[in-house]
A = this chain, B = another copy of it.
Amino acid sequence: MECRIVAVGTELILGLTTDTNSPYIARFLVENGISSQQHQVVPDDVDEIAHAILDGLQHSDALIITGGLGPTFDDVTREALSKAVKRELVFDPKLAEIIKERFPHDKPIPKFILRQAYLPEGAIPINPTLGTAPGIILEIEDKIIFALPGVPDEMKVMLKDKVIPFLRKRVREKAILIKVIKTCDISEASLQERIEDIIAKYENLNIKILVHLEEVHILLMLKGDIKAVEELISNVKDEIADRLGKLVYGFDEDTLEKVVGKLLRKHELKLAVAESCTGGLLSNRFTNIPGSSDYFWAGIIPYSTEVKRELIRVPSQVLLEHGAVSSFTAQAMADGARLIVGADIGLGITGIAGPTGGTPEKPVGLTFIALSTKTTRFCKRFIFTGSREVIKFKTSQQALNLLRLFLLERFEEGEVS
């Protein structure tokens, strides 16, 4: 089964909003053995949407459309659907009642809301459970069209509860298996050199090397009989992981913060972070993980020099002699973070995120990351390039990797020997 994904929205075409729905849907489809060969983004225009629908029906078995189902005048996916498949829009009184129920009872119901109760003849509504916009299921001969609201949370519920169960009944295809191997501290070209004999050996396997900020992923993909595919992918994965050793930090849904979090939990360690130039990003990444309160004890963002001195207890002497961006300050921040909240490990991060504030001696992108425990203290120096947000993110990546390698060397390898 081949599925095409169409995102509707002038704001997407203008680049005011990023389409995150299509990748979400694509991932969900793949997990359920369904391929998508193309994504399209079109504006809120009846003709453009209708054209994309007709084109999609011609080249694929199923079409998933997101956006343009809301109550306001500029939501025209219903009209486009009606035009494309030549079916009149019909008012559905039952659906209208459900939509009214969804609107907060303490406020008057805006009249536009009921535009959403019109559906192309023969369509099945998907009742809204989060917002007010219903989804639409429409079968046209042996093809099927799903139209879902553009608001991600509303779309996700309908995709999971209605679209996927509907599609799964029709999938008679083989499995698509994907394995992602995630690495740090190596460039894409060097990575390929390290594993090129393995790549050459499995030529029927689809292998791809993906570059991200301060990490490189290896994507293994294969379609086929589930058992055979699973075994082959698992073997290749093991072979590559063995070859690369600690350069591999994880697989698939792993992120550096998840992997570090697991190590901290396993060894019952409490972490405190004092992050200046990353400004809360590292703490935010840790706390995005459910259950991170087990090991993430506290984050402190001492953005002003006063706070570095008084709250984190960086000695005035250090700030005066070496400046706020120095290995000495980073180390004192790591120590301070650990001590003032009684954590086992402290991380201290200070740097110049830019775009201004750099000097010839201390350029934009210069960053110091320090670690502190009762028995260990060390600091690493980096120079990152990119925008302010990119420098912040790269810094948080290297801080996580520094902590990961420390935990592996101190707690995991020690156990083995």
Q: Which residues of A contact B (CB under 8 A)?
A: 10-20, 22-30, 36-44, 48, 70-74, 103, 107, 110-113, 130, 132, 150-151, 153, 178, 180, 187-190, 192-193, 199, 206-212, 217, 219, 221, 270, 278-284, 286-288, 290-293, 296-304, 306-307, 310-311, 340-342, 353-356, 385-390, 392
Question: Which chain B positions have C-beta within 8 A of A17?
Answer: 23, 210, 212
Contacts A207-B74, A280-B299 hold; do A153 and B387 have CB atoms under 8 A apart? yes
Whether the Cβ atoms of A22 and B37 lie closer than 8 Å is: no
Whether the Cβ atoms of B288 and A301 lie closer than 8 Å is: no
Interface pairs (19), CB distance under 8 Å? A12-B23, A15-B25, A18-B23, A37-B42, A38-B40, A38-B48, A39-B40, A40-B41, A74-B207, A74-B209, A110-B189, A151-B211, A278-B287, A279-B283, A281-B284, A283-B283, A290-B388, A297-B307, A298-B301
Question: Which chain B positions have C-beta within 8 A of A37?
Answer: 13, 42-43, 48
Give the number of times this chain occurs in the complex, counting copies. Answer: 2
Question: Which chain B positions have C-beta within 8 A of A311?
Answer: 298, 340-341
- Chain B residue nearest in CB terms to A293: B303
Contacts A27-B16, A37-B13, A301-B280 hold; do A189 and B390 have CB atoms under 8 A apart? no
Which of A11, A130, A310, A311 is the most central at the interface, judged by chain B CB atoms within 10 Å of its CB?
A11
Which of A298, A387, A388 is the most central at the interface, judged by chain B CB atoms within 10 Å of its CB?
A298
Contacts A178-B14, A280-B280, A288-B392 hold; do A41 and B42 have CB atoms under 8 A apart? no
Report the bound CA distance from A221 to B14 in whole Å: 10
Question: Which chain B positions have C-beta within 8 A of A15?
Answer: 22-30
- Chain B residue nearest in CB terms to A305: B293
Contacts A189-B110, A190-B110, A279-B286 hold; do A11 and B210 have CB atoms under 8 A apart? yes
Whether the Cβ atoms of B113 and A153 lie closer than 8 Å is: no
- Chain B residue nearest in CB terms to A311: B341
Whether the Cβ atoms of B221 and A10 lie closer than 8 Å is: yes
Nearest 3 interchain pairs by C-beta: A279-B287, A280-B283, A15-B26
Question: Which chain B positions have C-beta within 8 A of A291?
Answer: 356
Report the bound CA distance from A10 to B205 in whole Å: 14
One of B30, B103, B282 near A14 (C-beta < 8 A): B30
Whether the Cβ atoms of A208 and B10 lie closer than 8 Å is: yes
Report the bound CA distance from A113 to B27 in whole Å: 31
Whether the Cβ atoms of A306 and B39 lie closer than 8 Å is: no
Report the bound CA distance from A150 to B210 in whole Å: 10
